[in-house]
Amino acid sequence: MHRTAPTRKVFLSLLAAAACLMAFAAVAQAKGPKGNVVNVMTRNLYLGADLTPAIQSPSTAAFIEANGGIVRQVEATNFPVRAKGLAKEILAEKPDLVGLQEVALWRSAAPSLGPVFSNKPEATTVKYDFLQLLLAQLNKGGNLYKPVVVQNEFDFEAPANANGVPGDGPPPATGLLANAEVNGRLTMRDVILARLKSGVTTSNPKSGNFGHLLIVKVAGSKEIPVTRGWTSIDAKVRGSKPFHFVNTHLESFDNEAEYPSVRAQQAAELVAPGGPATGKLPVILVGDLNSDTKTEVKPGDGQAYRVLTRAGFRERATSKPTGCCIDSSYDLKTGSNSEMNHKVDHIMTSAPKQIKLISSAVTGRSKTNGYWDGDHAGLFSSLSFLP
């Protein structure tokens, strides 16, 4: 009887100590291992339309009509609404760094064929700025993300029969421009976002365009290079060792059966000596590679991926497919996940012995506000840096 009270006090003391330890562990777990874990994401925003009809147009008149269809499709795919779903994807995963592709900037001007033949875009009136629209949604609850690298890629302007009505171009439009109401200018961009107030520090921002580019003929004869490239930064996350983060979008319209394909040559540029995905720091490479070896849609699809793996890169993401395309009609209102049947988006590393995969997820597998967030899905990975 006399020993019960002390025993009870010891028990209660131990219980209290255990509770404190559990609370401490919960806090530590919530914050994640300091300097050991980095969360990354790659997301193609989808420019808003299928450019194939314009690329394949046999004449200037057909080119103007195809451009009109593209303008109407961009309106129909409604990026201001899609930006809400895309932001929701990113905010749910809380990646430290995000590689974005097809961050379109759409601008307009009076109809003119001048920018087509001079290859000097002039339109300045902004219709949709995908970067600013996405940031507005991401930062509604406070300053959470900022762009640390923005790189311009394909930049092209051309007249369009935007409303599909013949002969109503603004005076004094005649001839080929008789149907065109507007010039549409598309500027494609690749962007890296960094999460604020989460222990992410970035330095040495760089970007560039590939030397190997697809050349397409529009309006029957005009040759246009499809400019693509890459963005990169050096980073530390919560006191980690520094690493090199690279974001890219390889060519999607080239002939996969050619050897080497354009996208394979672009991948080779990334890993060539002194290339943007090389150096003394371990590299994390993310992006829309339009290539995979396990889910080839056409023979040759895996060329670019093999170039990277032969250079020592290894996958650090789920093998689940990301697209393209969720919606084969490209209006982003129909379609199903069954159409997302192959892998084009990747998260890779040049240092597989140092950087291990903790967990990974495909994002954007459901509609938001009646729209798919993009024409294929996003990809997130939580990675561990070994000591």
Q: Give the DSSP letter string of 170-222.
A: PTT--GGGGG--EEEEEEEEEEEEEESSSSEEEEEEEEEE-SS-EEEEETTTE
Tokens of 229: 């490239």
At 194 the pLDDT is 98
User: Which of the four pLDDT bands, split at 50, 70 and 90, describes residue 20?
Assistant: very low
pLDDT value at residue 101: 98
CA 25 to each of CA 12, 18, 28, 368: distance values in angstroms, whole numbers, following the listed order: 20, 10, 5, 36
CA distance 317 to 304: 17
**What's the rounded Cα separation, in Å, for the pair 313 and 174?**
55
CA distances, 161 to each of 86, 108, 157, 283 (Å): 30, 13, 13, 45
Asked if the model's pLDDT at residue 349 lies above 60, the reply is: yes
Report the C-alpha gap between 286 and 355 in whole angstroms. 14
Q: What structural domains and CATH numbers belong to the chain? A: 36-385 (3.60.10.10)
Average pLDDT over residues 214-240: 93
Q: Is the pLDDT of residue 318 over 60?
A: yes
- pLDDT for 326 equals 65
pLDDT at 136: 98
HEC-encoded secondary structure of 8-48: HHHHHHHHHHHHHHHHHHHHHHHHCCCCCEEEEEEEECCCC
CB atoms within 10 A of CB 369: 11
Give the confidence band of 22 by pLDDT, cuts at 50, 70, 90. very low
Q: Tokens 């003929």 — which residue? A: 217
Q: How far apart are the first and last CA of the chain?
A: 54
pLDDT at 138 over 80: yes
- Cα–Cα distance measured from residue 238 to residue 243, given in angstroms and rounded to the nearest whole number: 12
**Which residues share a beta bridge with 97?**
40, 194
Give the separation between CA 385 and CA 28, rounded to whole angstroms. 17
pLDDT of 13? 46
Is 90 exceeded by the pLDDT of residue 176? no
Nearest CA to 326 among 313, 344, 301, 309?
Answer: 344
Q: Among 22-36, 94-108, 264-278, whose mean pLDDT is lowest?
A: 22-36
Contact (CB, 8 A) for 86 and 137: yes
Structure-token match 């450019």, residue found: 51
C-alpha torsion angle, residues 192, 195, 198, 200 (rounded to 10): 20
Whether the ω angle into residue 324 lies within 30 degrees of 0, i.e. cis, is: yes
- 292-307 average pLDDT score: 86
| Cis-peptide into 111, omega within 30 deg | no
At 328, is the pLDDT very low, low, confident or very high (cuts 50, 70, 90)?
Answer: low
Name the residue with higher pLDDT: 277 or 11. Answer: 277
pLDDT at 323 over 50: yes
The confidence score (pLDDT) of residue 1 equals: 36
Assess whether pLDDT exceeds 50 at residue 92: yes
Q: How far apart are CA 110 and CA 121, in angstroms?
A: 12
Q: Give pLDDT tens digits for 212-222.
A: 999 998 887 88
- What average pLDDT is seen over the chain? 89
Phi then psi for residue 21, to 5 deg, are -65, -40
